[in-house]
Amino acid sequence: MRISVIGTGYVGLVTGACLADSGHSVCCVDIDEAKIAKLNDGIIPIYEPGLEDLVERNTRENRLSFSSNVTEAIESGAILFIAVGTPPGPDGAADLSHVFNVVRTISATATSPKIIVTKSTVPIGTGEKIREILDTNGIRHEVVSNPEFLKEGAAISDFTNPDRIVIGTNSAQAMKTMKRLYQPIVDAAPSRRASVIEMDIASAEMTKYAANAMLATRISFMNELARLCGKVGADVKLVQNGIGLDPRIGQRFLNPGIGYGGSCFPKDVQAMIATGREHDSPFQILEAVHAVNERQKSVLVELITSYYGDDLSNHTFAVWGLAFKPNTDDMREAPSIVIIEALLSHGARIVAFDPVAQANAESIWGDRISYTNLNKDALKGADALLVLTEWKEFRVPNLARMKDELGAAVVFDGRNIYDPDVMRKAGFTYFSIGRPPVLADTDA
Ligand SMILES: NC(=O)c1ccc[n+]([C@@H]2O[C@H](COP(=O)([O-])OP(=O)(O)OC[C@H]3O[C@@H](n4cnc5c(N)ncnc54)[C@H](O)[C@@H]3O)[C@@H](O)[C@H]2O)c1
């Protein structure tokens, strides 16, 4: 099938590459000419494991191409995926200007009927609005909502081995075509569990928000529980195991931390709150989920200032991890931004290491913080280590060497990746989230 993917970001590029890899002919198009020039030179503008190989193979075999000519891509594709950003507007509601710009361009330029598929996360009712815009040009296009559930860092395996593929449309013909489009992925999915779930457009749009809102709710629940554990002397990690083994609850998404970030949870929770308000059905749980998350980003700074005092001007902190989660270079809404800004405002000096997010971090802080190429180099002489992203490579450090490198054996672990007993035995002062602190003998 001839597919054009409009918007070549984290979702559009992965969607285009994976659909090409399943045999379709795909053109990925973007208004960002620099991004397209890079892709045409074989440079992948984002970090996503496995993506480079996939793009290289499919461009070499002529199934995948890149262009900045949106009109041409619209004309050449029979199925047009819209995968542009839907960032939060000033009131938290999703800003749909990019989506509607694309739809207006399709409406104005397409000379034959298309299947127009929304991959972007859009509020309930957007499909209807897209239909209204398209109906102005006299050609009967079909509208489909096909929300994306991939996770950055595991995007290719999520796309090619999905739990479910949600397709919302009121057109039987479009549904049939979409199922044919995904059939190679369903057939080849290693888990064999991929199934297409058919529904109307509004339900498909709602499904995406409901999934992210539910996951964000679990995180804020655990973060609030961790805060209470800290107050009453309970250990949230033990409680986490104690509840997670109940199959009705399950183990996933129970890690407390420094708040959720990224380009999806914060904006989707806020968009859902805005939709509730708009329809006079306030989503009170999500208002609390969002408020708890905002507060959680300050928990590590509170621990740091209560340990050292408010004036941090004589302190240097080594930071391990800047991206909002491991295996991605994405810094959008990363809790590290709020934490580092707060520490800088207290006068602290920051020396940071992240395996892949440094370039994006530099565009945020420039030379207001320092960066190192190796994680151990960030430690040299620092007053403490702060763990802000749970990259695998941080999980089993050589603690003796870490102690030697640091100016003081103090760790603030925002992701609970170390065992307090191990840290105690290694002579560290160790703070984590929702667990009793470990105070090394010299500090006790
Ligand atoms: N990133 C994720 O993990 C993820 C997961 C699921 C769903 N989503 C949703 O997918 C959508 C895209 O997210 P993303 O992270 O890929 O965004 P992104 O910012 O990485 O990419 C969006 C791209 O669209 C391009 N664009 C904007 N206007 C355009 C236009 N008129 N024509 C062509 N290109 C245009 C931008 O230049 C950019 O390259 C969002 O709605 C997001 O909520 C994202």
Instruction: Measure Cα distances from 292 to 220, 226, 285, 398, 429 in Å.
Output: 6, 12, 11, 34, 27
Residue type (1 letter), 153: G
Same domain, 219 and 79: no
| Closest to 102 measured CA to CA, from 123, 130, 142 | 130
pLDDT tens figures, 251-287: 999 999 999 999 999 999 999 999 999 999 999 999 9
Q: Whole-angstrom Cα distance, residue 343 to residue 339?
A: 6
120 lines ligand 1 (CB under 6 A): yes
3-state SS assignment for residue 281:
coil
* Per-residue pLDDT tens digits for 83-136: 999 999 999 999 999 999 999 999 999 999 999 999 999 999 999 999 999 998
Of the pLDDT bands very low, low, confident and very high (cuts 50, 70, 90), residue 443 is: very low
Domain check: are 345 and 290 in the same one?
no
Q: How confident is the model at residue 444 (pLDDT cuts 50, 70, 90)?
A: very low
Pocket test residue of 5, 11, 98 for ligand 1, highest count of atoms within 8 A of CB: 11
Query: What's the CATH number where 228 sits?
Result: 1.10.1040.10
Atom of ligand 1 nearest to the CA of 12: 16
Q: What are the residues whose beta carbons fall under 8 Å from the beta carbon of 250, sequence distance 6 or more? A: 244
- For residue 177, the SS3 value is helix
Closest CA to 219 of 122, 335, 386, 336: 335
CB 10 near ligand 1, within 6 Å:
yes
Q: Which of 84, 324, 328, 333 to mutate to test the pocket of ligand 1 (most atoms within 8 A of CB)?
A: 84
The structure's pTM equals 0.94
Sign of the alpha-carbon dihedral angle for 371, 377, 378, 380: negative
Picking from 137, 166, 199, the residue at the C-terminal end of a domain is 199
Q: Which of 238, 265, 295 is where one domain is finished?
A: 295
Domain membership of residue 436 (yes or no) is no
Testing ligand 1's pocket by substitution, the residue of 263, 272, 329 carrying the most ligand atoms inside 8 A of its CB is 263
Task: Show the domain range for 243.
Answer: 208-295
Q: What is the pLDDT at residue 194?
A: 78
Picking from 255, 280, 295, the residue at the C-terminal end of a domain is 295
Helix (H) or strand (E) holding 410: strand 410-413
H/E run at residue 80? strand 79-82
Give me the mean pLDDT over the 207-215 stretch.
98
Per-residue pLDDT tens digits for 416-430: 999 999 999 999 999
Do the Cβ atoms of 332 and 263 come closer than 8 Å? yes
What's the pLDDT band for 344 if we cut at 50, 70, 90? very high
pLDDT at residue 195, rounded to an integer: 87
State whether 161 and 236 are in the same domain.
Answer: no
- Closest residue to atom 7 of ligand 1, CA basis: 148
Q: Which residues are designated catalytic?
A: 264
Binding site membership of 7 for ligand 1 (Cβ less than 6 Å): yes
Region 42-70: mean pLDDT is: 97
Assign 137 a pLDDT band (cuts: 50, 70, 90): confident
- Let me know: does 64 contact 16? Beta carbons within 8 Å: yes
For the segment 63-82, the average pLDDT, to the nearest whole number, is 98
**438 within domain boundaries:** no
pLDDT band at 333 (very low <50, low <70, confident <90, very high): very high
Ligand 1 pocket, residue 168 CB under 6 Å: no
Q: Looking at the domain assignment, is residue 68 inside a domain?
A: yes
In a domain, 59, yes or no: yes
Q: In this structure, are 104 and 130 located in the same domain?
A: yes
**437 is a domain residue:** no
Distance 87 CA to ligand 1 centre (A): 9
Task: Establish whether residue 86 lines the binding site of ligand 1, counting it when its CB lies within 6 angstroms of any ligand atom.
Answer: yes
310, burial (CB in 10 Å: exposed 0-12, middle 13-18, buried 19+): exposed
375 lines ligand 1 (CB under 6 A): no
Same-domain status, 232 and 319: no
Is the domain of 249 the same as that of 366?
A: no
